[in-house]
Structure 1
Amino acid sequence: MSLYEASFRVRHECPYREISERHPDLTIREWYLSDCQVIEITAPGDPSDELIAEIDAIGTVLHESVDETGLHVVTQSCLCSLEDSIIERFESHNCLYQPPTVHRQGWEHYTVIAFDEGDVRALLRDLEADRDIEVLSKTSIAEQEIPHSMLAPVDRLFEDVTERQLAALRLALESGYYEQPRKTSMRALADMTAVARSTYEEHLRKAENKLLTNAGQFLRLVNASSTADPLAVNTGRSDEQAAD
């Protein structure tokens, strides 16, 4: 079984793309979160007053610095709604979006991965219908070539996990509950909180279940082309040898 990767660039109305068109030396990287975007902006040299003003208008500045390599800014913004967005089109064609989106010289650059080449073709036809698009590459990915940089978006991994469930999961992780051997117990973890053991355990189990469920599509990608089952019975070798 093969995977298919497509990289392309598009033009459509978007403030980040338009800024990159007005400032061709600028590179903007965009990550989508549940209710906002996080934007990383880099540019060589000292920034102009005009550029600084445009950046300030984008959203809340989380970090800003200028050094010998140029300008570095990270902002958080809610300017672009994700409703009826290009990301939703990727999902409707069973294509997995690979962040970040890169805005440079008036173009938005995207990469998607799919299990069926027909899904990639259908997506590209859909996008060509209402925006300028240039396909940069479209390749088949063998098992050995699946990129390790193919990271899952954080908001997708933690989708539907509540704040209490996240707090329970973080406490367990930082206390060594998932280490081998375990450094703490469920009772000890619950004693560190203001809730009963049964309540804490419920929060933790729900967090684990949701996290693994959300990670399922990415696990499937990693094992998409595997032909060998590492858990299959391997005669002639002891458990100690298999563990080496």
Structure 2
Amino acid sequence: MTITVEFSMYSPSLPLVDLVESLPFRQLECEHGLCLKRDSDVFVIHIDPGDDISEEDLSAFDEVVEATSLGRTKGKDVYRLTVELVDDISEAFTPERFTAVEVEPMILTPDGWYEKKVFEDYETFDRLRTRFEEYGISIELISITQGSDSRGDSPQYGLTDRQYEALTLAISRGFYESPRQVSTEELAEEMGISQPSMSDLLRRGERQLLSSALEPQTHINALSAQERLQ
């Protein structure tokens, strides 16, 4: 079962964040292959012509080794950048550990990256998130949706089996009633896990249900509006 995940990444080590901060609109589209090839250092960026950025301007950034104009498409100036990656980024995006396919261009802001990728399953994405956190890259999950091959067969709305089991148990035992009819400790004992693990399953499950119900683009629009006000 493949899943499509929308998420944002935040870290001062992420490439090109300083470049975006220098742009008038403080946002650009970008493609890269960090999850597909070890030490991939080529980024293709799409810049609004109104930003008035040249190859020389792009090459002036310390992390940019080379900038080449690829022309213009869909009203955007397109450049190929060869970028010097810091060690933490090269190690965090080890492609042998993760299989992820980019669905649409990444969006860069001064705060970080927004991505939409397809993963083999939830566990693959969760391993990526855990590894990123080990290298100081924080992840904000926006939404998870199941692939079309399984959507008709599963009522789980992108939840893992354990999240679905935990939420179903919690609802059936009155955990979400007011007042609550059961504690997380009691639910954990019934599932045969620790109380912190039970709380984590419920928290992640609740977030996934909310993410599925809300429009992901609202997050991007909010980021754009916030940057224009700064």
- Alignment TM class, shorter chain as reference: 0.3 to 0.5
> Which structure has the larger Rg over C-alpha atoms?
1
TM-score when scaled to structure 1?
0.45
TM-score when scaled to structure 2?
0.47
